[in-house]
Amino acid sequence: MTDEMEPIDDSTKVRRKIDNTLARFSAAHDELAAEEAKRKQRLEKLTARPAQLIEQTRTRLQRVVTPVRAESGVDDEPAPQTRLQEKKQRHNERTVRIGRISVVVLAVLIFIGTGSAWGMKTWFNSKFTQIAALDENSADIQDAPAQLGDENFLIAGSDTRAGATAEENVGSADDVEGARSDTVMLAHIPADRKRAVVISFPRDLEISRPDCERFDAAKNEYSSEVVPAATKVKLNTAYAVGGPRCLTKWVQQLSGMRINHFVGIDFSGFKDMVDAVQGVTVHVDKPMKDGVLGMVVAQTGDVTISGDQALSYVRARHVIGDPTSDYGRIKRQQEFIGALMAKVMSHGVLTNPGQLSGFVTAFAKATFGDNIGIDQMLTLAQSMKGLDPSKVNFMTVPTTGESNSRGNEVLLQSKAKAVFQALIDNTALPGTTPGPTSPDAPVAATSASGKPQPDQ
């Protein structure tokens, strides 16, 4: 170092320049070291964040699907039961389990929120295909103020053959052009979150289709062409002609309910979700063979089926020995959704990043819709966490249960109107009476066509 008091000559000036240069380098080094320390600190926070998010998300999921057990200091010995009582108890326990999983189903795929554990929230929302479907200011909505806070999800399974493989045995896009709504469900959760109702619509239900803008399923776009209204046509033509908007328009005209969420699922991607979690277990009483699809499940009992099998399982409409046709298929679809959700929510999947990531990726590829996102789903799931599982009701829209001369299911207009009015008013469904809310309470019975039956 140089002494500032020493005589200034040329050599002193040189040394001072060197000292000043070293000082600047030292200061720059200190600044870089400070920036590096900050960068490492941020990196450590980002590294720790996934584990925290995993735990937080898992806790939120558990709060939704895990029942709250009442604590008691007395161990009651169960009274002896007859075989009929034991059978009824097993049935009720299974119903409660399915109901508990159904709560998660009605949150419409709240499980995708676990993707945020890997910082996938933004990624998923960018991958999710947004298609305009809703008209929340429609004149068809009845008593809109009474529906404030209600969540109504219109769920449609598309039967497009785009991307279908030979193993699926459903034909190709050249054989069957366009897309139809192979499955239609309306999931209703009222503002008080004290019950949930899922109504299925037969695909061959005869309807009066409203005029709709033409929809191009290949491009997911609407055109300026307006397709005129038509009467005595099948429900699945509404989606084929006018896509999500047309289907939503018809449902709102029929029900008077405000549809504020639309979820579409492409069945060709549905099988990838099943394969991502290494299959789903279903219960089969006897070998299941379809007149069109062939052998679907050859084994009996609890059988784990793969993606291709699952696709046939939920699509089969001509099962040998099942005279209910579309109603039997609706029942299998509802049971399979519950089984799939149970598998996704299982410890083995939630704690396996590979399986969970694969499932989220498959879900993003197979799903499209309007007003559906991770934030909405998690908020809804959190608000539903206290819902009594016995208050989840699956049913089919009231019909005659028989096909007419056109091969269409005939809607019972007055009974259907009574069901939808009960949902709007948040009153008991027709043919049912409000009952106890404990898990041991029996749920409302439904007929083969899904119509609520009065208490005997």
Q: Span 175-196, mean pLDDT?
A: 76
Q: Is the dihedral of CA 348, 354, 355, 360 positive or negative?
A: positive
Q: Is the dihedral of CA 397, 335, 195, 262 positive or negative?
A: negative
**Lowest mean pLDDT, pick from 139-143, 296-300, 380-384:** 380-384
| pLDDT the model gives residue 391 | 78
Looking at per-residue pLDDT, the higher value among 280 and 166 belongs to: 280
d(CA 312, CA 297): 9
d(CA 294, CA 313): 11
Would the pLDDT of 422 be above 70? yes
Tokens at 61, concatenated? 């999921």
Q: Locate tokens 């320390």: which residue?
A: 37
- Crossing angle of helices 307-315 and 326-344, in 10° steps, is 150
pLDDT band at 223 (very low <50, low <70, confident <90, very high): very high
Architecture of domain 83-425: 3-Layer(aba) Sandwich (3.40)
Neighbours of 21 (CB within 10 A): 10
Looking at per-residue pLDDT, the higher value among 347 and 161 belongs to: 347
pLDDT in tens, 315-334: 888 899 888 777 888 888 87
pLDDT in tens, 35-48: 767 766 766 665 55
Most confident of 86-100, 126-140, 366-380: 126-140
3-state secondary structure the chain: CCCCCCCCCHHHHHHHHHHHHHHHHHHHHHHHHHHHHHHHHHHHHHHHHHHHHHHHHHHHHHHHHCCCCCCCCCCCCCCCCCHHHHHHHHHHHHHHHHHHHHHHHHCCCHHHHHHHHHCCHHHHHHHCEECCCCCCCCCCCCCHHHHCCCEEEEEEEECCCCCCCHHHCCCCCCCCCCCCEEEEEEEEECCCCCCEEEEEECCCEEEEECCEEEEECCCCEEEEEEECCEEEEECHHHHHHHHHHHHHHHHHHHHCCCCCEEEEEEHHHHHHHHHHCCCEEEEECCCEEECCCEEEECCCEEEEECHHHHHHHHHCCCECCCCCCHHHHHHHHHHHHHHHHHHHCCHHHHCCHHHHHHHHHHHHHHEEEECCCHHHHHHHHHHCCCCCHHHEEEEECCEEEEECCCCCEEECHHHHHHHHHHHHHCCCCCCCCCCCCCCCCCCCCECCCCCECCCC
| Phi-psi group of 334: left, alpha or beta (phi > 0 → left; psi -120 to 50 → alpha; rest → beta) | alpha
Looking at per-residue pLDDT, the higher value among 115 and 208 belongs to: 208
d(CA 264, CA 367): 6
d(CA 390, CA 102): 10
CB 410 within 8 A of CB 206: yes
d(CA 114, CA 124): 11
Looking at per-residue pLDDT, the higher value among 129 and 91 belongs to: 129
Would the pLDDT of 397 be above 80? yes
d(CA 314, CA 159): 11
Most confident of 56-70, 256-270, 381-395: 256-270
| pLDDT the model gives residue 233 | 95
Strand 196-201, strand 181-189: pairing: antiparallel
Nearest to 452 by CA among 394, 391, 403: 394
Torsion on CA atoms 221, 227, 232, 234, rounded to nearest 10: -10
Domain boundaries, the chain: 83-425
CB 2 within 8 A of CB 21: no
